[in-house]
Amino acid sequence: MIYKNVLGKDFKKKDEAYKYFREKINEFTVPYSTNYTVITEETPIKQSEIKQLSKDYGSYTQEWETRKSHAAGIDQWCVMRNFVKKTESISLGFLRNRKEGESRLGAILPEAVTAKKIFKCFGKGEFNPKEILNGALRNEINDQIEDFRRKLKDPNICACCGKRFFPQEMVVDHIFEFKDIVKEFFKIEGWEEFMMNSLYKEADGVLYRIQEVSYDDEFYPDSPRQEWQEFHKKRATLQMLCKGCHGMKTYAKRIPSKYE
């Protein structure tokens, strides 16, 4: 396989591509005052080249970016200094966006990433296709989630503990589990493969979506996106939970009862 346009060059093997990537990383000057350097269009690796890598070879999901960036999203890629067991190394990282209401005076620390895990041109990639599909299905129901929140008289009261919280501490929760809705949706033979083949990546190289128009409307619905959205709307029952109660609900499902 040929890995094309990896930082402006083509490679026959992943290890060759990764070796070149590491060579470019090591060209960066990382000051000890900040321990990171923001990637720009003037640095050894350009910001546009990283965005192109994300688009062409990125294996990470929206869920991964949300978790790693503390729900703020990636602002800028950077090269950073790490200290692991007193050993110094230079690696790829990113700076997250500043959250609403967050002080402008506070420093935003970079998050390190493993290039071999998030770019398939360097390694296996950490994320499997089903995880990517699951993330895309969630992306397509975001409007329903926000519509539910918006229509509530008071969306800041937890349905479990009954206490009031700040909006950022509240989560829209599926009473009937999201994974079970997906499982029911895929009961029709061939539909999971159909939706998998309907995946595409937005121009930002991060967000996965479901195609609006079917690639095979002779045997499948005209719009895979709309089919999923309508199915979810009929099946989903939602509630507002605080993050604490939502976490306990999620954690409790992972612990088998001794009475089962």
- Residue 165 reports pLDDT greater than 90: yes
Residue 28: C-alpha distances to residues 18, 82, 258 (Å): 16, 14, 55
Query: Is this model's pTM higher than 0.75 or not?
Result: no
Res. 210: pLDDT tops 60:
yes
Please determine, for residue 86, whether its predicted confidence score (pLDDT) is greater than 60: no
Distances (CA, A) of 114 to 23, 68, 166, 181, 231: 15, 12, 34, 33, 37
Neighbours of 39 (CB within 10 A): 24
Distance of CA 174 to the CA centre of its chain: 20
Give the model confidence (pLDDT) of 2-16 as tens digits: 899 999 999 999 989
Residue among 212, 225, 208 at smallest CA distance from 62 = 208
Residues 98 and 76: their CA atoms lie apart, in Å, by 11
Structure confidence at residue 36 (pLDDT): 94
Evaluate if residue 260 carries a pLDDT over 50.
no
Q: Dihedral through CA 177, CA 136, CA 69, CA 15, nearest 10? A: 120
> 47 pLDDT band (50/70/90 cuts)?
very high
- Average confidence score pLDDT of the chain: 84
What's the pLDDT at 152?
Answer: 93
Q: How many CA atoms lie within 13 A of 98 on its CB side?
A: 9
State yes or no: pLDDT of 169 exceeds 50.
Answer: yes
Assess whether pLDDT exceeds 80 at residue 1. no
Tokens of 255: 């612990």
Domain range summary for the chain, segments of one domain joined by +: 3-118, 129-254
Q: What percent of the chain clears pLDDT 90, i.e. is strictly above it? A: 43
Residue 198 has pLDDT above 80, yes or no: yes
All residues at 6 or more sequence positions from 143 whose CB lies less than 8 Å from its CB, including other chains: none
Q: What pLDDT sits at residue 223? A: 86
